[in-house]
Structure 1
Amino acid sequence: MAAGKHPLGVRDDFVWGASTSAYQIEGAAFEDGRGPSIWDIHSRTQGRTANGDTGDIACDHYHRWPEDAALLKKLGVGAYRFSVSWPRVLPRGRGAVNDKGMDFYDRLIDGVLDSGIQPWLCLYHWDLPQRLHELGGWTNRDVAGWFADYATLIATRFGDRVKHFATFNEPNVCTLFGYGMTWCAPAAEDRVAYLKASHHLNLAHGAGVDVLRGLVKDVSIGCIYNLQPVHPADETVAADHEAAAKLDAHWNRVYADPHILGHYPNVVVEDYEPYMQAGDLARICRPMDWVGMNHYGPIWTKAAPGSQMGFAWADVKVADAHPEIGWEIFPEAFTEQLLETSARYKLPVYITENGCGRNDDQEIADADGYVDDFYRITYLKLYTAAMKAAIDKGADVRGYFIWSLLDNFEWGSGYGNRFGIIRVDFPTGKRTPKKSFAWYADAIKGVLG
């Protein structure tokens, strides 16, 4: 459909949405039969999260979802992207189904639909059942079959109402940071474990696509990638250029390329060959309908010969943070990445995460809990303008989902970094829309103040 009259130049059928994930908002970690995930264990390991924060309660969305559905309706979005907690529906990761967990998602999906909003369901947002981890988790090739069984359960139960599915959210983060490094669960810091995990996750993706395609009528399937331009820390150092090429492959290509193009990037393909069996790439490369792109900014990297992966993150190359935001921001990189992604994969692109975080002590709330987050609005204006620039240059962008609906558990940052357009007072669970909530509601309607 051609571009309509919206000032951002988006199509008439453009999807405006908001995103969350199960472990970050649900809480109820030990209620109604939910089993432990690797993030329950990771967050309880000393030094892994800020202040030892966990997702035990988080936003208490498990109990307060009707309030959150009402806020989504007030916001005016057409879609809500959420994830299912694998250990909530299959406490041991396989075998016996937890009916109370399945019932929760029935209620949530029906409530979202009753609000006139389409549910976009992500099967996996990093919370692998701990029982499967004890069997090798993503390093065990059998995990592709376990994931296919899980996908079958979800598709069979919810596929009559949910038509938009993502197999994975940011597979690069949960494997590279979780197996190659220690920043995410399960913090293995083992290069071989990482290579196995990423290849087996790719096999699971292909198996999941086949399950969804076979079981859900009129299904629309994608995978969500964190895509960011990668630059060498020092343009004059050859080793930094080599590090940037490797990180670019592992961060931006190792998943989307085999999923969509049917091959691993040349710069790393030899690393994967020991773990590949005949027919693996055909199992991985299955027809998809769209690409999900999460983006916050570019990456600078440097050589790190003594590390497991041979590269490391470097300082951001900018003189000063943006004065109104406190972040180093690069909206031009957003435009670049949208154009590159659209051209490379030749599929519709949905921006499934984009937003602005702020330290808790900078998100100043008044006596009623209201936050005048002008810096977040500034960021969103810059990045939605960058999206328009990409669209104007031919990028096939079909939707924008803000990260995030709610302040939540931000993984290793715990509760100290707030991304929500709704403030959550974590001791009480009280929700208070921020000024950015009103701005986004207006932007959806085409009012860009």
Structure 2
Amino acid sequence: MTTAAPNLFARVLRGSAITAGSYAVAQVLRLASNLILTRLLFPEAFGMMALVSVFLVGLAMFSDVGIGPAIAQNRRGDDPDFLDTAWTIQVARGAALWLGTCAIAWPVAQLYSAPMLLQLLPAAGLTLLIAGFNPTSIDTANRHLRLGRVTALDLASQIIGIVAMVALAFALRSVWALVLGAIAGSLAKLVLMRLYLPGQRNRLRWDASAGQELIRFGKWIFLSTACGFLLAQGDKAILGAYLPLDQLGVYNIGWFLASFPVLLGGAVTSRVLIPLYRDHPPGASPENFARLRRLRFGLTGGLLALLAVMAFAGVPLVGVLYDDRYARAGAIVVAIACVQMPAVIGMSYDQSALAAGDSRNYFLLIAAKATVQTLAFLAGAQAGGLAGALAAQGLALAAVHPGIIWLARRHGAWDGLHDALFGALAAALIGLALWVNWAVLVLI
């Protein structure tokens, strides 16, 4: 036990560094391609793609049965029968998702008065079909925090997709470049992971006991991710009914820049914290709690620092990177960075429930967060447009923190000192950022 803990924490730190580094590189590449694409395509193309993404992510999240977390936390996570059963479910889900994109294409095109969605949605849905065949060796690598090769391959597939997207934009000057580039990236990931990632070669198989365990754990993950769709994509789904496509495209550019810190934090916590909470729960010993406190302080402090950069430098950053058509995105970057500061304080707690197999209470928390945030965003949009929606979202994120504390305390993970210190820091940063940028924010 004395040697296992340091080894595990060393792997956690190494995995965190690998994940953060690769995510930063991927975002830099996406930013570079985004700068090229905004000069080749019109804002309406990004608005159209934002709507496509809303429904693709929605279908994926409304059908997620938690294959990855199940493999990460289950005692049978290395059992070939368990892995093949999980892969069989994943393949069937991918096929069902693609059929779902075909089924919703016409009503969605009518809802948003965008006829192109009738063709774009089924084509973009192929990415979900392809992802269904990704090997479970990806999840096995995450389970054991062997993240070097899987991260490198994932980054390579993203580069292939980005290069394809830019090349197609030069040739087509159409939103189809974004869709076809996404398909190329998905195919590249499938091929690279199958060829170069060590691990079991999956085949279609059904083990009854494994299926029961996956379904029992996954039913709550299914409900959680359905609610998670509202957290991740509810803003775009709502704003699609309030904003023209060009303005939605500008919002999406601002969201892309401002959300980098939170998405980075989500990528790190989802990969490294379940194995850590699983093998060394914080409530088991003061040593475990102290190590997690150090990790949590570093994570939250780093994310708040990145959000502060966006809050104070968002306007000049957009001015340097984009042309006048996207000028409004600078104020959006500032507002979203401020809104997301309360969210990062509780980011490291959720995985403690999944590591303990407590997917039911995890769902209850996500459902509460989704309900409060969506209703607040909708009410704010009706009362004050985009500015009102963002302000209401920020208040909602602060209001749901007691629920996060409730779940964390059930698993001995809550750290009151952490929350008090970083809550005060976040409040100070938000107040200062609003004061410095007020003249710009009133233009939202």
Higher relative contact order (CA 8 A, sep 6+): 2
TM-score, reference length from structure 1: 0.29
Structure (1/2) with the larger strand percentage: 1
